[in-house]
């Protein structure tokens, strides 16, 4: 018997292509009240309409730039206009950038989009998550985090030296440190927080870095990558399966719980990253955060 998400509110970020789109479509097919969130308004509207047609279940959308604090705050505010609670949050939006890019907030793009986006959006929606029914936060991380032995707090945003793969790996390690720290802070509530590695997936990921790199990324993904449908299975599983009810602070790949790297379990680093993230986002952060 298929899992029913009837009357469950769902928010999926980065849902206009790849595993985010598949995740949103399948959670809608299960009956979830899905809202998709991405930057391009026209694409959001078209994808929401296509999922609605495919599933027969109305899908809402919010268009906002999750690489900026104002964009994240806008997204959270818009969602709160639509809903009084949130049962499932899938943090999926992210990117890979060959060159060091600075956001309007003065932050390095990989760190801002891949980590601070998850941190700030989740915290801004935390009151709605606590009001949900056994709510779930699902953070899409990556096996790339194992490339690092620890967070490099002296080069957190590539200030001293920027290497694209190091920046990406560090942002994915940050996803895990955030996941485990948030789970600790939510002990005693009905909200669970888990992370996952989707595998190497054939999507549009990393194809924003110029023609030559894009051609290479596309060929590599076609040859070695799994389909978005397969890559999305663990996100869908963690968002919907009764098998993980009550499971929190865990890391999954191919719908199976596994250990992440030793560095990801460093509680001191997790707390340090939390406090840095809190300070950086203080301009738009909700007042009461412990």
Catalytic residue annotation: 168
Output the CA angle 244-150-250, nearest 5 degrees.
5
> What is the total residue count of the chain?
290
Angle at the Cα of 137 (from 131 to 143), degrees rounded to 5? 175
What's 29's DSSP letter?
H
CA distance 185 to 187: 6
**In sequence order, what DSSP letters do the residues of 107-118 get, joined into one string?**
-BHHHIIIIIHH
Nearest to 280 by CA among 37, 108, 154: 108
Q: How far is CA 61 from CA 39, 90, 157, 225, in A?
A: 10, 14, 31, 28
Cβ atoms of 194 and 139 closer than 8 Å? yes
Phi, psi angles (nearest 5°) of residue 263:
-60, -30
Strand partners, 138: 90, 194
């Amino acid at each position: 018997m298929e899992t029913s998400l009837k009357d469950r509110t769902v928010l999926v970020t980065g849902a206009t292509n790849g595993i985010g789109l598949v995740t949103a479509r399948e959670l809608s097919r299960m009956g979830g009240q899905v809202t998709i969130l991405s930057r391009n308004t026209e694409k959001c509207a078209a994808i929401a309409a296509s999922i609605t047609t495919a599933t027969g279940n109305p899908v809402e959308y919010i268009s906002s730039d999750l690489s900026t604090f104002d964009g994240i705050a806008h997204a959270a505010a818009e969602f709160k206009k639509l809903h009084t609670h949130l049962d499932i949050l899938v943090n999926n939006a992210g990117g890979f950038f060959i060159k060091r890019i600075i956001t309007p907030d003065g932050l390095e793009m990989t760190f801002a989009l891949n980590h601070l986006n998850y941190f700030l959006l989740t915290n801004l929606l935390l009151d709605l998550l606590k009001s949900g029914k056994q709510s779930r936060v699902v953070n899409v991380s990556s096996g790339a985090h194992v490339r690092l032995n620890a967070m490099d707090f002296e080069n957190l945003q590539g200030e001293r030296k920027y290497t694209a793969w190091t920046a990406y790996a560090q942002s994915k390690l940050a996803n895990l440190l955030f996941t485990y720290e948030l789970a600790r802070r939510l002990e005693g509530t009905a909200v669970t927080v888990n992370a996952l590695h989707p595998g190497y997936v054939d999507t549009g990921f990393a194809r924003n870095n110029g023609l030559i790199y894009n051609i290479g990324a596309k060929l590599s993904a076609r040859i070695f990558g799994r389909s978005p449908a397969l890559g999305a299975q663990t996100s869908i599983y963690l968002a919907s399966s009764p098998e993980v009810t009550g499971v929190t602070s865990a890391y999954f790949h191919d719908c199976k719980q596994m250990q992440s790297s030793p560095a990801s379990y460093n509680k001191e680093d997790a707390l340090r990253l939390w406090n840095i993230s809190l300070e950086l986002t203080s301009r738009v952060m909700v007042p009461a955060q412990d």
